[in-house]
Amino acid sequence: MKDKEKNKIVATNRKARHDYFLEDHLEAGIALHGSEIKSVRANQVSLRESYIRVDGREAWLMNCHIAPYDPASYLNHDPLRPRKLLLHRREILRLYNRVRQHGYTIIPTRMYIRDGLAKVEIALARGKKQYDKRREIAKRDAELELRRSLGKKRYY
């Protein structure tokens, strides 16, 4: 099997980097029903409004929209149901302790299929203020201008 086929990115949370400072990344498995995995393989997933809820023992993927799989008809799943994340106990406890601190949350950054199994990459995140977002946009624009000016000098 080719490497591209092994890691197929299904969905990304593009707003995550804009709205949060991402600190610690983890990979977690997802407990899915039969019709859900078929929808995931068909790229019918949205991570836009989703988050991770951690109690002391388990982690849950909340508000992740996995579209109903049409051929499943009456055996279909609820698109927004909470889905259990498969993590080691020590990882769950570490995340739980960090989330209890003020300002931290856990968000999914992308979902992909690796070796036939659905995985989600989660990140420990701290929310950005509006001025942080503006500062980052200004920095990105300055870097773009610098690259443009350097590129023009090389060709003239």
Each residue's pLDDT expressed in tens, for the chain with a length of 156 residues: 455 556 889 999 888 887 888 988 999 999 988 888 888 888 999 998 899 999 889 999 999 998 888 777 777 778 888 999 999 999 999 999 888 887 789 999 999 999 889 999 999 988 878 777 788 888 888 888 888 888 765 444
Please give the Cα distance from 91 to 94 (Å, whole number): 5
112 with 119: CB under 8 angstroms?
yes
The structure's pTM equals 0.76
Domain 3-128: homologous superfamily in CATH? Small protein B (2.40.280.10)
What 89-94 contacts at long range (C-beta under 8 Å, 24+ apart), as own/partner pairs, is: 89/57, 91/26, 92/54, 92/56, 92/57, 92/58, 92/59, 93/56
